[in-house]
Structure 1
């Protein structure tokens, strides 16, 4: 089944590119599209709890978009297409409560840069989506709006911290949306719910209007969607400096559109370890299957290792680097507030001892070694193919796992994703298989800095031979 076949899939399972094309052709109106998704939210959200606020402006904006189509003229790439936004990202005149009673009722006056750019491209804000308290955990649960459930199995998590966003898209409540990623948070949830997501090179998409701002050298905002072509379109809309986020200093025009890769075979290395922590055999098998698929498409594909990942375990490096800055943000937000307003992850973070200056400096040097290690890898290869998560979506509340015979805590779910946050490398998460329990299994396609075009191209080719394109939860 092809996900983009409008004769097969209902409106709420079309990708954003298809919806935009149908709207431009006047096959369907923006009002119909918005109403179809609103109806889907009304039907499914009570069980999934992905949506925390519905934008009361969506239908009115859809009517304006319909009138613009009828008038003719230029339309944006997402004209009339609804989109959702993680509730840590500011939306003008729409609640942005950051998953905490501390921010209950907070209404920003200005859109985040990423939201503004989606609107400028013609997209219509449909709703805000759930997240963990302060966007900080691998499960989307908080005291203000509760826990989100995975559409594939309500007893399991859709991940965090962009879990509400991933669940909404997977369930057909939204065609495309925006999440944020500190260590795992657009790629992990996408993997757990069977959608796609892009964490671009650090700084490619401005973080303006998103909280917390620290440690900003690790934070990213990125698109989550149904298809690779949607990620590509959204990346073009979202990327580029805004003059406000100093890390976002490179415009799209400064990045060459093509390179000498066009006249040679792409070189792909694949690995599931060592250096990422333990991996479930089912997940490892899907990564190898994806590698075989890329080889069948004419690429040079080899099993590889990256020694820098074995020398410095990225998850440990990340933990030593980010704690003090995150603690300060959490402390500022919670000072003077009742303990009843603070959930478990903020309390846990505030209880962690500060990193010593020696450990912090050692970790900074380790981060540099990781960057150097990846730089050396990309001298030989164009792409790294690996897993996103070491196992499929877990049951709610589990904090310890037995993975391939090794007992680890829940933070190990970030083993293959956090290296990209430390180094700033771009990565795509996309489903390529199914577990024995019927849950999505995804692969991660990693590229060199500012080379999103290559990984989007490779992901598109892999999508074209994927055995799972068009699969949806049985809702």
Structure 2
């Protein structure tokens, strides 16, 4: 594996090592288990299925030795966020209410990864019902950032990103609405893909699995599931598996064409780092601009000063209204009334609370009007992509914040550059703006800020051009160095 240690190798490199016989799947599983045990303070993988996975790894090794058929992920141990159904394994959604919940089947996304040959070693941590920007809950505890244990990993796929960064898994399956893959990827220094809305099935990935029958038959608005990994090529590999229907189930495979560029000199980039609505931490901006200069030095055409359609103002408003209209509907009648009451009390204190209060009272006619505005903006973005292959933005306005469990996420504040900002929407603004349009986006690591914390760049492409976003992330990694392993000095506290 080109002398690359297992814990820092990409999934693509690891699979190549398996094919060459440098190690077995059993040895790989044991290496990840040892890594998890060596750094318990990270608390990223909170449920293990070690015995079953070792048995599956032995069968995978036997099949490979016998020359039997193998899939593209054959024998690769992966982990899955706790909001996906995994057959025969605890699927708690981070909730005490579901501490003993063991599904009888896999979510469709998990089933597709298994069909490609992946082995599900364990489950990664999240906030309860994936409803916070930090990975903590009363059942599984708090996940700590591998770069600094006093900092959060972000959420809701915080356990996923921390596990990948810390070398505890080759690949993790997370989920994303307002940046739940991309923000943790940025804060932990790994790659994370939010696919085009609808291309990866969401059946079996539901926020409240104990609700009425049929709640997992429709895809939540804006929500997707997607991979987190140490390399951009891994995202491409996982995307292929996640969009390939299982042979016994049938179904359509989405047309996700290859990128129209392969080199820096062919790449056309629009850098959108400035918007009248929000500022970005200067330390984060410095790293982003340095990355763009490296891209330009390598031959990419980087353009500044063009404001994409809608800007953060209109796109952010649409995201908050459509996001909360869907999320509020998933809390059940009692939860809905509690949430609406909280937003009503806070509406005089925060413009965002006012938006959320409005979202929870939308009529269907009002929702359709907002959706029509979304479609118009989506069409204008398609026109923008005739001139640019990708738009790059900050994934998030600052690097990883200290842990803060003192307030619900809608009431929480953080300080940056002498000002106090709301966690929502400040931290999700850049991700939500492209998420509401259903666009594919990759968060790719581009360096460390002056505090030694990872900075992520969001790489956005046109609908169904997921592979363009991934290919651009690959070129950015080539220019700036890509994934770096955290020091993992650690703490026991």
The TM-score normalised by the length of structure 2 is: 0.85
Encode CA deviations 1:71-101: one digit per residue, 9 max, x unaligned.
1233222211110000000101111111111
- DSSP 3-state at the match of 2:473: helix
- 1:422 aligned partner: 436
More off after superposition, 18-27 vs 78-87: 18-27
- Alpha-carbon distance in 2 for matches of 1:375, 1:152: 37
Asked if the contact 1:278–1:404 (Cα under 8 Å) also holds between the matched residues in 2, the reply is no
- 2:240 aligned partner: 236
- 1:48 aligned partner: 42
Equivalent residue pairs, number:
458
- 2:371 aligned partner: 364
- DSSP 3-state at the match of 1:11: coil
- DSSP 3-state at the match of 1:69: helix
Q: Quick one: structure 1 residues 23 and 450, their matched pair in 2 at CA, closer, same or farther if it must change by over 3 Å?
A: same
Q: How far is 1:233 from its partner? A: 0.8
Listed as ranges, the gaps of 5+ residues in structure 2 are: 208-215, 346-355, 406-411
Q: How far is 1:311 from its partner? A: 7.4
- 2:112 aligned partner: 117
Q: Quick one: structure 1 residues 474 and 264, their matched pair in 2 at CA, closer, same or farther if it must change by over 3 Å?
A: closer
- Alpha-carbon distance in 2 for matches of 1:428, 1:276: 22
- 1:397 aligned partner: 404
After superposition, residues 213-292 of structure 1 pair within 5 angstroms as: 216-240=220-244, 251-252=253-254, 254-257=255-258, 259=260, 265-274=266-275, 277-292=278-293
Listed as ranges, the gaps of 5+ residues in structure 1 are: 336-343
RMSD: 2.9
Q: How far is 1:158 from its partner? A: 0.6
More off after superposition, 274-283 vs 157-166: 274-283
After superposition, residues 318-333 of structure 1 pair within 5 angstroms as: 318-331=319-332
After superposition, residues 316-465 of structure 1 pair within 5 angstroms as: 316-331=317-332, 353=357, 354-357=360-363, 360=367, 363-397=370-404, 399-404=412-417, 406-411=419-424, 412-465=426-479
- 2:191 aligned partner: 196
Q: How far is 1:369 from its partner? A: 4.3
Asked if the contact 2:190–2:444 (Cα under 8 Å) also holds between the matched residues in 1, the reply is yes
Q: How far is 1:388 from its partner? A: 0.3
- DSSP 3-state at the match of 1:12: coil
Q: How far is 1:65 from its partner? A: 1.0
Q: How far is 1:223 from its partner? A: 0.5
Q: How far is 1:364 from its partner? A: 3.3
More off after superposition, 34-43 vs 303-312: 303-312
Q: How far is 1:361 from its partner? A: 5.5
Q: How far is 1:378 from its partner? A: 1.2
Asked if the contact 2:155–2:183 (Cα under 8 Å) also holds between the matched residues in 1, the reply is yes
- Alpha-carbon distance in 2 for matches of 1:345, 1:58: 40
Q: Quick one: structure 1 residues 87 and 75, their matched pair in 2 at CA, closer, same or farther if it must change by over 3 Å?
A: same
Q: How far is 1:297 from its partner? A: 2.6
- Alpha-carbon distance in 2 for matches of 1:275, 1:235: 35
The TM-score normalised by the length of structure 1 is: 0.88
Q: How far is 1:184 from its partner? A: 0.4
1:180 partnered with 2:175 = yes
